[in-house]
Amino acid sequence: MSDLQISRPERWGVPFAADMHDDEVERLMSISLFSQIDQSKFSGKIPLSGILKNDSRLLKCSHGEIIVRKGDWGNSAFFLLSGSVRVEIEPGREGMPPEVLGRAPVKRKSFFEALKQLWSRPRHTEVRNLSTYTSGSNAGIKGKGSDTRVFLQDFSRVVERYKTTKMDAVEFFGEQSALGRIERTATVFADGECELLEIRWQGIRDLMSRVEWLRDRVDDRFRAYGLRAFLRTSPYFEHLEADDDATPEVKQRLEVLSTKVMKKAEFKSYGSYDKVDRFTKLVEAGNATDLAHESMIAQEGDYPYGVMLVRSGIVRVSHQYNNGHKTVSYLTPGQAFGVDEITAGWRDGKPVHLQYSARAVGYATVIVIPTAVFEEAVLEELLAGGVSKLSDPSLFSLQHEAATTATGEIDPGLLEFLVERRLVNGTATMLIDLDRCTRCDDCVRACAAAHDNSPRFLRHGPIHDKYMVANACMHCADPVCMIQCPTGAIHRNIQGGEVVINDATCVGCTACANNCPYDAIRMVQIRDPNGNPVYPTHTSQPGKMDTDELLPIIPTMKEWEPIIKATKCDLCADQNTGPACQNACPHDALVRLNLGDYKTATDWLKT
């Protein structure tokens, strides 16, 4: 037995910011925002001062600095302590274009441009046109490494052109994205000098559990702005939005039902995402089969107290099997759990217990609609007059979500492999049938041809039976790679949904590569057309080009090292024909598959 001992992991073993000192915490405790909070409601293990010191950090932003961008993924909320910020309103209508926010707009290549790339590729890999790094857009960059920030260069013109509203201290924002692990819904930037307190979602969660006014405020804002939009996307609740030609009586009835759903709905979160690679460690350690590491959302055999709509994350559906558990399905955002049992109980007039358990794979958030409310607003409204009113009657067929899996349409071992490694998070997962694959490398060559002689994926990865999941970006539904990017260089393309990287604003901080649990992002040294490494300005290294004037906006963490950038698969977003790798496979052995769509995945896996 080893005598080696280590400290037990603590809640605050890794603070949000290492430079949050006691004097700053004392100052925060003295301002009205926190001085009025009853500290007796906090436990000794998690005091208010501890949350401020370990779960938060202070940010000082200057005029025009972008604080959050629409479309970014975030795990923190912001309290505005002093100064003011501007929030983009109506971002869905002629919102700020990508270049204003420090992103690169995706432009499709013409037929001749796509043809030209076959013979005009650079001789060296990772070659860059250095002139593209000159500052010519509406956004600039300042700072270095992880402290880099994007700012609006023409602030007054942006404010005049796009609809914004001013927010003054003391106010908070960003809590819905942080708690729900969903993308930011609007862009916020500093309107002059301001100071903000950024709190990661764990701290927000603990504050809400003890501070009633904050909990009520967050809850009210979610019901006012987020819940209705979310319910509109659900096939179970879309009928609550009355058609324009509906009678006044129908509109009034649906509004009453909609209001009742909004008031009674509950927002809940399960699991932990302190470490984004936690689930891969569990798989490697062999701890997956007992499922004890996954938070229980609803347990088999219990009475369904409500329908649970997955808002973010992945939910495992399983049932007891011998002495363990067997995965029969998985749910992704927008899908529901408990509908079948509640529907059967409503039809038969007696309760039907849950036939399956639901667990959070990593971290998941759900919206719970109480059983009685669901019965009144959905079942009585849609089913009382006949299922012909439904756009998809199978939504109410008993156990439709899990029954197809249980019939053996997909190998249970493969399903467990995909869910346990959270590969079902991918909307464009590269799946290779190794029985069909002849290792001809046409896929890799096609990828290189489409990306200036720089392949963007590696043809290896985890394998189950005859299937391999390649280390290519899966363009996840929940892209944790975005969370810590300081400039928003890695972002989701608003038009196509692909997760892409703006090479011009990537500062090489490695945050995205470190956060990606699938080893799909690589850091590379960029090169000039002659194949020489590119160095930052004001350095003298062998082989460095004499192009200092072209590199003023590329800050790096270490001035004496060559510049590095993050690269990954962009799903050939600029190619009209789609992913080159899939198109080039002569044996149909490779496919880019949305594993969140269970039916589509099953259809391909059965072929």
pLDDT in tens, 186-199: 889 999 999 999 99
Q: What is the pLDDT of residue 545?
A: 40
Q: What is the pLDDT of residue 10?
A: 63
pLDDT-derived band at 539, boundaries 50, 70, 90: very low
495-508 pLDDT, tens digit per residue, is: 677 888 988 888 88
Q: Which range has the top average pLDDT, 19-33, 98-112, 230-244?
A: 19-33
Full DSSP string of 500-550: EE-TTT-----HHHHH-TTS--EEEE-B-TTSPBP--TT---TT--S-GGG
Show Cβ contacts of residue 307 under 8 Å, excluding neighbours closer than 6 positions. 236, 336, 337, 338, 339, 342, 368, 369, 371, 374
174-190 pLDDT, tens digit per residue, is: 988 887 777 888 889 99
437-465 pLDDT, tens digit per residue, is: 999 999 999 998 888 888 888 888 999 98
Range of weakest confidence among 106-110, 162-166, 296-300, 402-406? 402-406
Q: What is the pLDDT of residue 27?
A: 95
CA angle, residues 183, 185, 190, in degrees to nearest 5: 110
Both ends of the chain: CA-CA distance in Å?
52
Q: What's the mean per-residue pLDDT of the chain? A: 80
Q: In angstroms, what is the C-alpha Rg of the chain?
A: 26
Strand partners, 77: 199
> Beta-strand (E) ranges in 371-489?
429-433, 463-464, 467-469
Q: What is the pLDDT of residue 138?
A: 62
Q: What is the pLDDT of residue 563?
A: 87
Asked if residue 548 has pLDDT above 50, the reply is no
Asked if residue 2 has pLDDT above 80, the reply is no
pLDDT-derived band at 429, boundaries 50, 70, 90: very high
Q: What does the pLDDT average to over 356-364?
A: 87
Distance between CA 566 and CA 471 in Å, rounded? 15
Distance between CA 373 and CA 377 in Å, rounded? 6
Q: What does the pLDDT average to over 300-308?
A: 93
Q: What is the pLDDT of residue 604?
A: 80
Residue with the larger pLDDT of the pair 418 and 81? 81
**Cβ atoms 273, 362 nearer than 8 A:** yes
Q: What is the pLDDT of residue 91?
A: 59
Q: What is the pLDDT of residue 532?
A: 87
- For the chain, where do the domains classified as CATH 2.60.120.10 start and end? 22-102+155-210, 268-415
Distance between CA 115 and CA 339 in Å, rounded? 51
84-99 pLDDT, tens digit per residue, is: 999 987 655 556 777 7
Q: What is the pLDDT of residue 597?
A: 77
22-102+155-210 fold: Jelly Rolls (2.60.120)
271-294 pLDDT, tens digit per residue, is: 765 444 444 554 455 444 557 778
Q: What does the pLDDT average to over 396-416?
A: 58
Asked if residue 29 has pLDDT above 90, the reply is yes
Q: What does the pLDDT average to over 326-332?
A: 83
Residue with the larger pLDDT of the pair 72 and 403? 72
pLDDT-derived band at 25, boundaries 50, 70, 90: very high
Distance between CA 79 and CA 26 in Å, rounded? 16
Range of weakest confidence among 53-57, 65-69, 89-93? 89-93
Range of weakest confidence among 35-44, 261-270, 423-432, 480-489? 480-489
Residue with the larger pLDDT of the pair 529 and 354? 354
Full DSSP string of 333-365: TT-EESHHHHHHHHHHTS----SSEEEESSEEE
Full DSSP string of 4-68: ---PPP-TTSS-S-TT--HHHHHHHHHSHHHHTS-GGGS-SSS-HHHHHHHSEEEEEE-TTBEEE
Asked if residue 470 has pLDDT above 60, the reply is yes
Backbone φ and ψ for 118, nearest 5 degrees, come out as -75, -30
Question: Burial level of 403, CB count in 10 A (0-12/13-18/19+)?
Answer: middle
Q: What is the pLDDT of residue 553?
A: 41
Please choose, from the candidates 377, 463, 375, the residue with its C-alpha nearest in 3D space to the C-alpha of residue 423. Answer: 463
Q: What is the pLDDT of residue 82?
A: 93
Q: Which CATH number applies to 268-415?
A: 2.60.120.10
**How many residues are recorded in the chain?**
607
pLDDT-derived band at 365, boundaries 50, 70, 90: confident
**Cβ atoms 98, 494 nearer than 8 A:** yes
